[in-house]
């Protein structure tokens, strides 16, 4: 029987929290107008400053030194942006040893400090990003206007330069066709709903990101508080829709979940999007208490590991699409059925 108490668990719905601070430095052209030497000199300056940090250790990567597979793995882990991926000549980044904080260099802005936490941890993630930001600001003169705040390459980031986002699994809202309603509500609140990989991407496996749109004329604390409150309301709505599915469409939703488990554990090859949709159903089934074959399994981790580049990085083998689909199928079946 479905466990109705499990509907309210945050970990069933909230996947991760991300904070990103955009900053530029006085006396330097915007990255779009810098030549390679100017960009590299600025990167070296920031790297040398971060070497003085006593709190965290960072590894330094130049985009031009990474091959396409390595770069794509970083994108799939949300450690760098697709835009930085394309900054072949001047892009670089610093990655903390705990892999929570990334400092993106010469992307859209001179530097972007990004911190990612599992679950709903907006204030903790912001505190960590701010700590790095404060340390850098002691050594660098940021571009700042008394009236408008931090000056950024894109006008939508001017002000706090803060983008706060929460990644959520919203299968019940999706199944009941309430996503468009959610998009409209969020827009009115100055928030936006994006796909798994951020701006301009579609949802895969009912995974969405909710983030703030406004950065000008509002304090960082107010941005975080508003987003926290809205996320709580979205979680409540998802739980309402899960209860509705159990009460009004019990046979249908159980059939969908169990079919997905059967299909994903009985195939020879599988594409990423198809696998994500099945895993989304299984994750929903775990939250509803419909399926117990995978008790204790971290579905979020499995979703990360089966991405096109990540599956190759994890297995240490470069593969074409067909080989990836075969390897993905084998890996999923082994993980879900706990085969040795």
For the segment 114-137, the average pLDDT, to the nearest whole number, is: 96
- Give the pLDDT band of residue 53 (cuts 50, 70, 90): confident
144-145/111-118 β-pairing: unpaired
- Which residue from 76, 78, 85 is spatially nearest to 107, judged by alpha carbons? 85
Distance CA 308, CA 320 (A): 10
- Give the pLDDT band of residue 140 (cuts 50, 70, 90): very high
Please report, for the chain, the start and end positions of each structural domain, with discontinuous segments joined by +. Answer: 10-238, 249-336
Return the ∠ at Cα 25 (arms to 123 and 199), rounded to 5°. Answer: 55
Whether 3 has a pLDDT exceeding 50, the answer reads no
Contacts of 283 (CB under 8 A, 6+ apart): 12, 169, 171, 299, 300
- Is residue 6 within 8 A of residue 289, CB to CB? The reply is yes
What does the pLDDT look like over 264-290, one tens digit per residue? 999 999 999 999 999 999 999 999 999
pTM of this structure = 0.91
Q: What is the CATH number of domain 10-238?
A: 3.30.590.10
What does the pLDDT look like over 142-176, one tens digit per residue? 999 999 999 999 988 999 999 999 999 999 999 99
Residue 336, pLDDT score: 94
What does the pLDDT look like over 232-255, one tens digit per residue? 999 999 999 999 999 999 999 999
Whether 61 has a pLDDT exceeding 90, the answer reads yes
């Amino acid at each position: 029987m479905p466990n109705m108490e499990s509907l309210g668990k945050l970990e069933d719905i909230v996947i991760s929290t991300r904070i990103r601070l955009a900053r530029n430095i006085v006396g330097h052209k915007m990255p779009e107008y810098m030549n390679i030497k100017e960009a590299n000199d600025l990167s070296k300056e920031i790297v040398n400053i971060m070497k003085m940090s006593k709190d965290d250790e960072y590894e330094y990567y130049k985009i031009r030194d990474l091959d396409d597979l390595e770069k794509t793995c970083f994108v799939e882990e949300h450690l760098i942006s697709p835009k930085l991926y394309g900054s072949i000549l001047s892009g670089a980044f610093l990655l903390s040893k705990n892999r929570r904080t990334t400092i993106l260099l010469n992307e859209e802005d001179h530097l972007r400090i990004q911190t990612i936490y599992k679950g709903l941890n907006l204030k903790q993630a912001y505190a960590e990003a701010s700590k790095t930001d404060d340390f850098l600001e002691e050594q660098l003169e940021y571009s700042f206007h008394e009236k408008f705040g931090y000056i950024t390459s894109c006008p939508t980031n001017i002000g706090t330069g803060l983008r706060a986002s929460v990644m959520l699994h919203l299968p019940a809202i999706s199944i009941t066709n309430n996503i468009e309603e959610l998009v409209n509500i969020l827009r009115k609140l100055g928030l936006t709903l994006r796909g798994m990989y951020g701006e301009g991407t579609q949802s895969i496996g009912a995974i969405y990101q909710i983030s703030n749109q406004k950065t000008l004329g509002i304090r960082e604390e107010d941005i975080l508080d508003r987003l926290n409150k809205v996320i709580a309301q979205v979680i409540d709505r998802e739980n309402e829709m899960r209860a509705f599915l159990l009460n009004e469409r019990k046979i249908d939703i159980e059939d969908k979940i169990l079919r997905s488990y059967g299909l994903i554990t009985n195939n020879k090859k599988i594409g990423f999007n198809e696998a994500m949709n099945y895993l989304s159903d299984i994750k929903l089934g775990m939250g509803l208490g419909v399926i117990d074959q995978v008790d204790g399994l971290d579905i979020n981790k499995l979703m990360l590991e089966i991405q096109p580049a990540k599956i190759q990085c994890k297995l240490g083998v470069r593969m074409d699409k067909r080989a990836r689909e075969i390897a993905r199928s084998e890996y999923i079946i082994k993980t879900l059925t706990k085969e040795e």
